Amino acid sequence: MLFPVHRAGHAAADCSWLPRVTPAALSAIALILAAPLAAHAQEAPSKTFGDKTLTDSDDAVTNETTVDLTNSVDFGGGANSLTNNATITIGAKATSPVKVTLMQLEALKNTALIDLRNGRAGDVLTLSGDYAGSGKARLGLDVGPGGVDRLVVGDVANGKTAVALGGLSAKTVALTGDKGPVLIQAGAESTKDAFFIETPDVGYVRYSLVQDVAADKTVTYRLKGVAGQRAYEMLKVSESVRDIWRQSADAWSAHVASLRDAGHDANGMGVWGQAFGGRLDRDGKVGSGDRTVDVDYRQTAYGGQMGVDLINAGMDDSRILLGLTGGYADARQRFSGYGAQTAKLQVANIGGYLALTHGDFFVNALAKVDRQSIKVSNGPDAINFDVDGTAYGAQVEAGMRSGGDGVAFEQLLSLNYVSARLDDAAVFSQKLDFDNAIGFVAKLGVRGSVQAEALGGALTTYGAAFVVHDFTIKNGLDLISGDQREHLSQDGGRTFGQVTAGVSYRAGGAVVTYLEGNGEAGDGRTGGSLRLGVRIGF
C-alpha cells in the first residue's frame, strides 16, 4: 500500500480518511501484543519453592507450611532434595487442569500430604527424581468419570504412602475389572507396596492399587475396583432369610413335640399359638481371590406363629395330625464391618403340616412359604434401598419314641430344604442380582421327657440335644456396574451343637402351655432363643 508523503514545498496531502489513533487505542494494541509474552512468562519454571529461593548449588528444602503450586519449579544445578512435612497442593483453586513439574529435583521425601484434589480430575505432578513416603505420608488424587489426577515419578518410588481418593462416593463408584486407570507412574525397581488406598471400601466397591511392570521396566500403579465388603455382606442377607424360615419351622416342631408328650389326651381339633424371640451371632469369612472378606453379623428376631389342627385323631397305637400354620417375624441383621450395614426383615409365612404316628415310630412333615420385605441401610454412605424376597421349603422329621411310667426317650432325625430368592436391587449406579440361595440342614439327636401329675394336670419337663450341619449348596449374587459384572458366592457348610430345655403344663387335655429355651454354639455360630406356646383343644 502506498502512503501519502508530505514534502516541504508541496501542498499537504488530505489525510482525513485515515483512522484517528488515540492513546487508549495504543494501550489496547500494546496489551494484545504483550499477551503471548506474558503467558510465556507465567509458564516459565519458578526459581522459588514457597519462600525459599533456589540456587544452582545443592538445595535441601524442608517444607513446614502449605505451598500451592500452579507452575513448574526448577531447582537448578547441584544435588537437590525436598522434604515435605506439611502440605503441598497442586492448583488448589485452579479452574482447569494443572500440570506441574519439579525439575532437577533428585529426591522428594514426603511425611505429610501432597494433594492434587481440587474437585476436578486431570492434574499431573511430575517429579524428576526419586520419591519416598514415610510416617504419615499421603497423596490426594481426584478420580472422575472423564479422567484422573496422576503422579509421575522419574526414578524410584518406595516407602509407604496412603492414597486418598477424591471425587468418589457411593453414588459414583464403579467396578473396573482390569481396565482401571493409572494413577501413578514410576521408574524401574519401584516397590510394589509403595502406595496403597487409604480408604478402600466406598459404597459397594473396594479399591486397591495394582502394580504393572512394562517391558521397559517402567512401573505403573493402576486403580482396581472390585466388590467390597458390603456387597459380600448381602450374601448373608440371603442366609438370614433361610434362618428365619427355619426359626418358624422350629415353632411348628415344638408344637408337634408337645402333642407327642400329651399323647391321646390331646386328641381333637385345636388352635395353637407361639411367641418367640432370639439372638444369633455369626462369625464368617468369604474367600475372594487372594483376599478374605469378613462378614460377621448379629441377628435378632421376634415373632409369632399360630396354627390350627384340622385333624388330630388317634386310636390304639396310631395317630394322624393335619393342619395349617401361619406367622410373622421381625428381624434385624447388624453387620460389624465398615459402614455398619443393617438389614431389617419383615417376614410373613403360611404353610401346612402332617404328622403320623404308628407304634414307637413317628414322622412329621411341613411345607411352608415365607415372603420377605427387606430394608437395607448404611449410615456413612446414605445407602438405603428396599428389596423383596421369597423363601419356600419343607421340613421332615422322623424318629422313634420309647419309654413308660411318665418317662419318654426319642431318637430323632430332621432334614429341611430351603430355597430363597431376593429380587434384584438397584444401589445407585450398581445392581445386585441375586441367585437362588439353596441349602439343607440336617439334625440328629435325642430328646427326653418326664411327666408327673401336678396342680390338677400334667407337668412335663423335657430336654434335647442335637448335632446340626448346615449344607449350603448355593448362595451367590452378581454385582453389576456398567459393563462390568462380578460374581460373589459362598458355599459349604457348618456343624454346630444345639440344646433345648423346656416345661409344659396340660390341663385336662384341652389346654397345653409350654415355655422352651434353645441354645446353639459351634463353628463361629452362637445364639439362643426363648419361646412361649399354648394350644387350646376342642
pLDDT in tens, 330-359: 999 999 987 789 999 999 999 999 999 999
Question: Number of helices (H) and strands (E), helices first, in the chain?
Answer: 2, 40
pLDDT reported for residue 42:
46
Grid cell for residue 16: 482525513
**Which helix (H) or strand (E) covers residue 190, if one does?**
none
In tens, the pLDDT along 495-518 reads 999 999 999 999 876 788 999 999
In tens, the pLDDT along 49-65 reads 999 999 999 999 999 99
Give the Å distances, CA to CA, from 189 to 127, 133, 160, 186, 327.
Answer: 16, 15, 15, 9, 65
In tens, the pLDDT along 285-331 reads 887 777 889 999 999 999 999 999 999 998 888 999 999 999 999 99
Rounded distance between C-alpha atoms, residue 319 and residue 312, angstroms:
7
Which of 417, 418, 413 minimizes the C-alpha distance to 397? 413
Does residue 518 contact residue 278 with C-beta atoms inside 8 Å? yes
Residue 527, helix vs strand vs coil = strand
- Please classify residue 238 by burial: count the beta carbons closer than 10 Å to its beta carbon, then call 0-12 exposed, 13-18 middle and 19+ buried: buried
Residue 219, helix vs strand vs coil = strand
pLDDT reported for residue 337:
85
The backbone torsions φ and ψ at residue 154, rounded to the nearest 5 degrees and listed phi first, read -70, -30
Greatest distance between any 2 Cα atoms in the chain: 154
Residue ranges of the domains in the chain? 43-227, 229-537
This prediction has a pTM of 0.84
pLDDT reported for residue 146:
84
pLDDT reported for residue 37:
40
Per-position DSSP letters for 66-132, written without gaps between them: EEEE-S-EE--SS--EEEESSEEEESTT-SS--EEEEET--EEEESSEEE--SS-S--EEEESSEEE
Does residue 299 contact residue 277 with C-beta atoms inside 8 Å? no
Under-70 pLDDT residues of the chain: 1-43, 509
Which of 320, 416, 437, 420 minimizes the C-alpha distance to 366? 416
CATH number (3.90.1150.10, 3.90.226.10, 1.20.1440.230, 2.40.128.130) of 229-537 reads 2.40.128.130
